């Protein structure tokens, strides 16, 4: 029976791409199925052998569909070899934006390029919701996204990322594919992509692979690789390992693990272990991350696989990728002038924040995703006495607990295996005299909540592994979209921390509660575009619920402005909105849209009978029946906006009807 792989992705286009990618790599070896986050009511996953997902966000969105015990594996992706060659041709010292559809994928793509050896250009991850720097030389992107400026041949299109060789090997291993078949697939694929480590141990167990093929393989890998026999003698070592150990590769082949341990004592402590995963240590060339894997076959030990990565090349989290890859300063670009709106609740929140900004008190911002909490936090900082000091933002939901602790509070030398010599300064110390913005505070682990409470109350922190307290003068702004009082009741959030954060609580209203601001926001977002906006488009925006709030409105307007020819109208809306339950109109709006169709058809000498009006309305707006057409025409007739002719002549618009459309901006 053919085994089955199920893919999880953000939309159907991405799902189809990876389905074809799987079929290209594995031919008809597996049955490939998929589920997409944009599919309405997707079927549950009840029978599959392996689930592959693009990123943690997608898994969280679709995890409720998984109703079988199949293993799950996140896709590890890289860029094609020819795409890497394009990037290598960029002049040294260039500044390149690395664009993708969201923050996670932009950071991941930039980190991948960096790990593949591109270190002579500055990489800045950007996405559709981020601020584009003014100064840059090139844009590296899978394709020409609509949010990117047109810079001609300075755009380097690298295509969609494909599976890393380690991903292919992991799949072959989990799916228990025959060794001969696996070997053929692996070496066919290896010629198409640049590689970093993982999965080599699986191929090593196939003893029929010739040594010269192994030399070719490991020198294609961006990490340092050393293969030892069961006695510790070095059998294979690539050029990258030689560089990291500052030892010629031919000399490495003449020695063993004991020699490397003698030359690099700290590294040697880890190399003598049977198993190690991503251990941080030091050697003569600097900090390195080390993994050790013993190779066994049939209960017999065949040696060890050792993988070395320079620490700065192992950046795989949002905060570190942002800091290491962009070298941007800790500043906020937002002010209160950037907060557009005049509705009562919005003005109330804005005025409270203005007053609060003049104090040093802690602020807790409540609001749904997309309402602009970070903009408010940045505006508070830039209106305060700390505006010329650092503004540091960190998302508490994006980093694992141990990494979040060292990021916030720093660590001392020797705090853990491989800790940097001299230690590392944490974000609280970096934000001294300024502001730290703790986004998604509701996701802060309980174990760190006590430490945060002490930092707020005592204005001092202690580094991980340290004994001395360090004084910090930091203003804290926290934000969440969770119900913290309920989390306190459930024991998921500390009661004392909640009340310490809740000195000034500001609720930022969702867009559905500030409909009066929608025309202002529309004008703000497309003020630089010379486009007309139809009345029905504005009416729709005023009636739509906007679950993604301002972020969603901005994205919809960017999409509509890009695909429109001179005027933004209902047809300019993205398909996901047209297919959603929110794509509907009020009864009064439907009546007036029907009047507009009667006017348009009359102007073009077209039929205005019920069937024609039904078809036109259904095509332009939403599907309706002829009975509904009759109701709308009767309502228009009762207001003397149309007259109804006998026979098949249909309706005619009156002078009063024309005047109504002109007065209300429909024509």
State percent of the chain over pLDDT 90. 28
Q: Which residues pair with 363 in a beta bridge?
A: 477, 504
Whether 320 maps to a domain, the answer reads no
Q: Are residues 287 and 248 in the same domain?
A: yes
Whether 319 maps to a domain, the answer reads no
| pLDDT at 409 > cutoff 80 | yes
Domain count, the chain: 6
Q: Which residues are CB-neighbours of 192 under 8 A, at least 6 positions away?
A: 80, 81, 162
Q: Are residues 389 and 460 in the same domain?
A: yes
Query: Average pLDDT of the chain?
Result: 83
Q: Are residues 349 and 212 in the same domain?
A: no
pLDDT at 328 (0 to 100) = 46
Whether 302 maps to a domain, the answer reads yes
Q: Which residues pair with 364 in a beta bridge?
A: 478, 505
CATH assignment of the domain containing 241 = 3.30.450.20
Q: Are residues 134 and 258 in the same domain?
A: no
Q: Are residues 517 and 504 in the same domain?
A: no
- Greater confidence (368 vs 422) lies with 368
Q: Are residues 494 and 380 in the same domain?
A: yes
- Greater confidence (31 vs 189) lies with 31
The total of other beta-carbon atoms located within 10 Å of residue 183's CB is 17
- Greater confidence (412 vs 272) lies with 272
CATH assignment of the domain containing 641 = 1.10.10.10
pLDDT at 198 (0 to 100) = 38
pLDDT level of residue 507 (50, 70, 90 thresholds): very high
pLDDT at 587 (0 to 100) = 62
Q: Are 420 and 376 in contact (CB under 8 A)?
A: no
Average pLDDT over residues 338-360: 93
| pLDDT at 515 > cutoff 80 | yes
Q: Are residues 518 and 505 in the same domain?
A: no
Q: Are residues 505 and 364 in the same domain?
A: yes
* pLDDT tens sequence across 54-111: 888 899 999 999 999 999 999 888 888 888 889 999 999 999 999 998 888 889 889 8
| pLDDT at 554 > cutoff 80 | yes
Q: Are 472 and 427 in contact (CB under 8 A)?
A: no
Whether 234 maps to a domain, the answer reads yes
Average pLDDT over residues 480-502: 93
Whether 321 maps to a domain, the answer reads no
Q: pTM of the predicted model, to two decimals?
A: 0.46
Greatest pairwise CA separation for the chain in angstroms: 103
* pLDDT tens sequence across 87-102: 999 999 999 999 998 8
Q: Are residues 342 and 487 in the same domain?
A: yes
Q: 581: left (phi > 0), else alpha (psi -120 to 50), else beta?
A: alpha
pLDDT level of residue 327 (50, 70, 90 thresholds): very low
pLDDT at 202 (0 to 100) = 40
Q: Are 124 and 97 in contact (CB under 8 A)?
A: yes
CATH assignment of the domain containing 62 = 3.40.50
CATH assignment of the domain containing 405 = 3.40.50.300
| SS3 label, residue 240 | helix
Candidate from 257-266, 485-494, 610-619 with smallest mean pLDDT: 610-619
| pLDDT at 317 > cutoff 90 | no
Candidate from 6-20, 311-325, 454-468 with smallest mean pLDDT: 311-325
pLDDT level of residue 539 (50, 70, 90 thresholds): confident
Q: Which residues are CB-neighbours of 98 under 8 A, at least 6 positions away?
A: 106, 109, 110, 113, 123, 124, 125, 126, 140, 141
Whether 375 maps to a domain, the answer reads yes
Q: Which two tokens stand for residue 252?
A: 């490495």
Measure the CA–CA gap between 172 and 465, rounded to whole angstroms: 42
Q: Which two tokens stand for residue 394?
A: 């960190």
Nearest Cα to Cα of residue 25 among 236, 144, 154, 177 = 177
* Residue at a domain's end among 55, 75, 95: 75
Q: At what angle do helices 165-174 and 179-190 cross, to 10 degrees?
A: 170
Whether 152 maps to a domain, the answer reads yes
Q: Which domain holds residue 101?
A: 78-163
Q: Are residues 71 and 83 in the same domain?
A: no
* Residue at a domain's end among 278, 313, 348: 313
| pLDDT at 560 > cutoff 60 | yes
Q: Are residues 385 and 340 in the same domain?
A: yes
Local structure of residue 515 (DSSP, 8 states): G
CATH assignment of the domain containing 520 = 1.10.8.60
Q: Are residues 159 and 105 in the same domain?
A: yes
3-state helix, strand, coil in the chain (%, to 5): 45, 20, 40
- Greater confidence (204 vs 168) lies with 168
Whether 407 maps to a domain, the answer reads yes
* Residue at a domain's end among 251, 286, 313: 313
| pLDDT at 201 > cutoff 50 | no
* pLDDT tens sequence across 118-154: 889 999 999 988 888 889 999 999 888 888 998 888 9
- Greater confidence (51 vs 259) lies with 51
């Amino acid at each position: 029976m053919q085994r089955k792989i199920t893919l999880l992705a953000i939309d159907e286009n991405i799902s189809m791409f990876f389905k074809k990618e799987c079929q290209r790599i594995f031919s008809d070896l597996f049955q490939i199925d998929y589920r997409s986050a944009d599919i309405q009511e997707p079927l549950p996953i009840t029978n599959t052998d392996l689930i592959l997902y693009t990123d943690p966000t997608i898994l969280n969105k679709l995890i409720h569909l998984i109703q079988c015990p199949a293993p799950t594996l996140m896709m590890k992706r890289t860029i094609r070899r020819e795409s890497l060659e394009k990037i290598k041709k960029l002049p040294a010292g260039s500044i390149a934006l690395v664009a993708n559809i969201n923050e996670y994928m932009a950071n991941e793509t930039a980190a991948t390029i960096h790990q593949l050896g591109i270190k002579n250009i500055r990489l800045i991850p950007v996405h559709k919701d981020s601020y584009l720097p003014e100064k840059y030389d090139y844009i590296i992107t899978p394709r020409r996204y609509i949010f990117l400026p047109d810079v001609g041949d300075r755009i380097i299109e690298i295509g969609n990322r494909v599976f890393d060789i380690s991903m292919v090997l992991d799949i072959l291993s989990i799916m228990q594919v025959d060794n001969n078949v696996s070997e053929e697939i692996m070496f066919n694929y290896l010629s198409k992509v640049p590689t970093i480590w993982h999965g080599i141990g699986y191929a090593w167990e196939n003893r029929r692979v010739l040594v010269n093929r192994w030399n070719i393989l490991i020198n294609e890998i961006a990490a340092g690789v050393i293969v030892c026999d069961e006695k510790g003698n070095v059998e294979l070592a690539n050029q990258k390992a030689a560089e990291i150990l500052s030892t010629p590769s031919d000399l490495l082949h003449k020695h063993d693990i004991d020699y490397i341990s003698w030359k690099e004592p700290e590294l040697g402590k880890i190399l003598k272990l049977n198993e190690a995963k991503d251990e941080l240590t030091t050697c003569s060339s600097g900090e390195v991350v080390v993994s050790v894997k013993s190779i066994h076959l049939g209960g017999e030990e065949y040696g060890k696989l050792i993988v070395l990565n320079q620490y700065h090349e192992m950046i795989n989290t949002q905060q570190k990728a942002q800091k290491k890859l962009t070298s941007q300063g800790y500043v906020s670009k937002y002010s209160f002038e950037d907060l557009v709106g005049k509705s009562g609740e919005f003005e109330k929140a804005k005025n409270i924040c203005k007053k609060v900004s003049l104090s040093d008190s802690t602020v807790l911002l409540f609001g749904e995703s997309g309402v602009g909490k970070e903009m408010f936090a940045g505006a508070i900082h830039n209106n305060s006495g700390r505006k010329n000091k650092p503004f540091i933002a960190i998302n508490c939901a994006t980093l694992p607990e141990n990494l979040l602790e060292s990021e916030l509070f720093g660590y001392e030398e020797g705090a853990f295996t491989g800790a940097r010599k001299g230690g590392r300064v944490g974000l609280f110390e970096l934000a001294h005299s300024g502001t730290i913005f703790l986004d998604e505070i509701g996701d802060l682990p309980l174990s760190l909540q006590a430490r945060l409470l002490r930092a707020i109350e005592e204005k001092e922190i202690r580094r991980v592994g340290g004994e001395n307290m360090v004084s910090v003068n930091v203003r804290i702004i926290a934000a969440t979209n969770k119900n913290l009082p309920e989390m306190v009741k459930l024991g998921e959030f500390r009661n004392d921390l909640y009340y310490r954060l809740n000195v000034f609580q500001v609720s930022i209203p969702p867009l559905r509660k500030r409909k009066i601001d929608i025309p202002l926001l529309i004008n703000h977002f497309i003020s630089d575009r010379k486009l007309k906006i139809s009345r029905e488009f504005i009416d729709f925006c005023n009636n739509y619920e906007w679950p993604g709030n301002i972020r969603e409105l901005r994205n919809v307007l960017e999409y509509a402005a890009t695909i429109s020819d001179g005027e933004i109208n209902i047809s300019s809306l993205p398909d996901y909105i047209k297919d959603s339950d929110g794509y509907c109109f009020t009864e009064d709006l439907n009546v007036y849209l029907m009047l507009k169709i009667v006017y348009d058809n009359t102007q073009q000498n077209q039929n205005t009978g019920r069937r024609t009006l039904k078809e036109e309305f259904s095509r332009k707006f939403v599907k309706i029946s002829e009975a509904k057409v009759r109701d709308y025409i009767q309502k228009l007739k009762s207001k003397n906006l149309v007259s109804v002719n006998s026979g098949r002549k249909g309706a005619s618009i009156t002078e009063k009807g024309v005047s109504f459309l002109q007065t209300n901006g429909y024509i």
